[in-house]
Amino acid sequence: MKNYKFILCYDGTRYKGWEHQPGIDNTIQGKMEYHLAQMTGGEIEVLGAGRTDAGVHAKGMVCNARFDTALTPEEITGYMNEHLPEDICVLETRIASDRFHARYNAVGKTYCYTCYVGLGKPVFNRKYVLTLEKRPDVEAMRKAAGYLVGKHDYRSFCGNKHMTKSTVRIVDSIEISERNGYINLTYHGTGFLQHMVRIMTGTLLEVGAGDRDPESIPELIEACDRSLAGFTAPARGLCLISVDYD
């Protein structure tokens, strides 16, 4: 069997997230596995670089699967895009090394959370942004974001209350930019906990609204208490941009 690497983009609006679940077939992983099985005639396991939540989008999700086929990578891409739903697209298929694992070999990920504060309504982007009632203090948010960057125990920003594994992660950068009424919060790190980016975004938006001080962030990190952090920003504004490999 050959090991195939896929790069996908998808609109996560109507899906229950990446990971297939018992009794639920409306997941990205489930759709990939079903159509690869139809193509090859055998059961296929697709391994993703991460588990995007229900409603979260991706421009560069990476996954891999092992199977036998006479089709070329280009023909596999063509087959999958012909049969997958219109809101999932295989951007690239290539033969990877036998040891390649989309999750375990990943060394970094980039996520972007998008908010809208412009005039009117973002009619055509409404499924992909969080619309704010008023413009936040972006400079205060940037100051608070500076405290979040680094190697920390991010338990305060973990949505899994029963997490038993280490919650220490490295966040390399958080960039906050504004353009044409949109505010983009771009995160890069070695890996992220469940809901971590959405909780950090909610916390930074609370700073921007004046509900908490930027200087309170170090104490919040130290507390390792989810109840002290901000709200979990809605899934629709979050997109996985890319996954890094050596």
| DSSP string for 118-154 | SSS--GGGTTS-EEPSS---HHHHHHHHHHH-EEEE-
Coil, strand or helix at 189: strand
Catalytic residue numbers?
53
The interaxial angle of helices 28-40 and 73-83, nearest 10 deg, is: 120
Looking at residue 140, its amino acid is A
What is the pLDDT, as a whole number, of residue 8? 98
Burial of 28 per CB tally in 10 Å (0-12, 13-18, 19+)? buried
List the domain boundaries for the chain. Answer: 2-96, 106-245
Same fold, 2-96 and 106-245: yes
Looking at residue 17, its amino acid is G
Considering only CA atoms, give the Rg of the chain.
19
What is the pLDDT, as a whole number, of residue 192? 97
Phi and psi of 45, rounded to 5°?
Answer: -105, 125
What is the pLDDT, as a whole number, of residue 82? 98
**Cβ contacts of 179 within 8 Å, gap of 6 or more:** none
C-alpha distances out from residue 133 to 117, 120, 212, Å: 7, 11, 18
Which of the following CATH numbers is that of domain 2-96: 3.40.50.9100, 3.40.190.10, 3.30.70.580, 1.50.10.10? 3.30.70.580
Q: What is the pLDDT along the chain (246 residues), one digit of tens a residue?
A: 999 999 999 999 999 999 987 777 799 999 999 999 999 999 999 999 999 999 999 999 999 999 999 999 999 999 999 999 999 999 999 999 999 999 999 999 999 999 999 888 999 999 999 999 999 999 999 999 999 999 999 999 999 988 889 999 999 999 999 999 999 999 999 999 999 999 999 999 999 999 999 999 999 999 999 999 999 999 999 999 999 999
The pTM of the full predicted model, rounded to 2 decimals, is 0.95
What is the pLDDT, as a whole number, of residue 156? 98
Other C-beta atoms lying within 10 Å of the C-beta of residue 205: 22
Sign of CA dihedral 161, 168, 149, 179: negative
Q: Mention the CATH class of domain 106-245.
A: alpha beta
**Cβ contacts of 161 within 8 Å, gap of 6 or more:** 226
What distance in Å separates the CA atoms of residue 214 and residue 186, rounded to the nearest whole number? 18
